[in-house]
Amino acid sequence: MLDVEIRRPITGDTQQLNEFFKTVITDTFTKEGIGDKLDDMNDEIETKKEYLSCVFDSNGEKRYFLIALYGDRVIGTIEYGPVSDLIKKCTNNAYKELIEVGTVFVHPDFQSNGVGNLLLKTILLSFKRKGIDEFCLDSGYTRAQGIWKKKFGEPDYLLKDQWGKGHDHMIWRIKANDCL
């Protein structure tokens, strides 16, 4: 396991985090075989930048971010906040009162080293301290879906071909205490 520091971001991390989002999302789209969907890729990058900005604007009240650092290099992120409009729509508002875990990214050079697991465990401990009993998460990325299925089982919602033929979207509802 790498010697990784987990902490909340500070405004001085913004430029590095924005570059991190671009690197990881571009890599993900390429590996997913959808690297040609530039508008979707840029929208995803901009959304993550907005989430980060929301963290600073609300002092973590509306969105809560954690970053993983190896030395002074950002190598991972995770955040939670209000459930997305996509999840509300796809679940017919069944999950609207939950929080959504998202922006779970690990730099391609550091994947498969336990960084994502460490970020998830840290955010789950935060949930325990805050009395958050359950949450949801979703994914349209097939590689990530495989990871989430191993951790949480089959999704509660499967949106077949949501992003095109063979590109499904999955949504899980998870009891936080079951993960610790």
Residue 59: predicted pLDDT: 87
Superfamily of domain 5-132: Gcn5-related N-acetyltransferase (GNAT) (3.40.630.30)
List the chain domain ranges: 5-132
User: What pTM was estimated for this model as a whole?
Assistant: 0.93
Which SS3 state, helix, strand or coil, does residue 77 take?
Answer: strand
Residue 164: predicted pLDDT: 77
- Tokens 């929301």 belong to residue: 54
Residue 93: predicted pLDDT: 96
What are the mean pLDDT values of the chain's consecutive 10-residue runs (180 residues total)? 92 97 97 91 95 91 94 97 94 96 96 95 95 95 94 94 85 90
Residue 61: predicted pLDDT: 86
Interacting residues of 52 by C-beta distance below 8 A, sequence separation 6+: 9, 14, 17, 18, 63, 65
Residue 179: predicted pLDDT: 83
Judging by DSSP bridges, how do beta strands 134-139 and 99-106 pair with one another?
Answer: parallel
∠ at Cα 151 (149, 153), nearest 5°? 45
Per the CB < 8 A criterion, the answer to whether 169 and 163 are in contact is yes
Residue 118: predicted pLDDT: 96
Residue 60: predicted pLDDT: 85
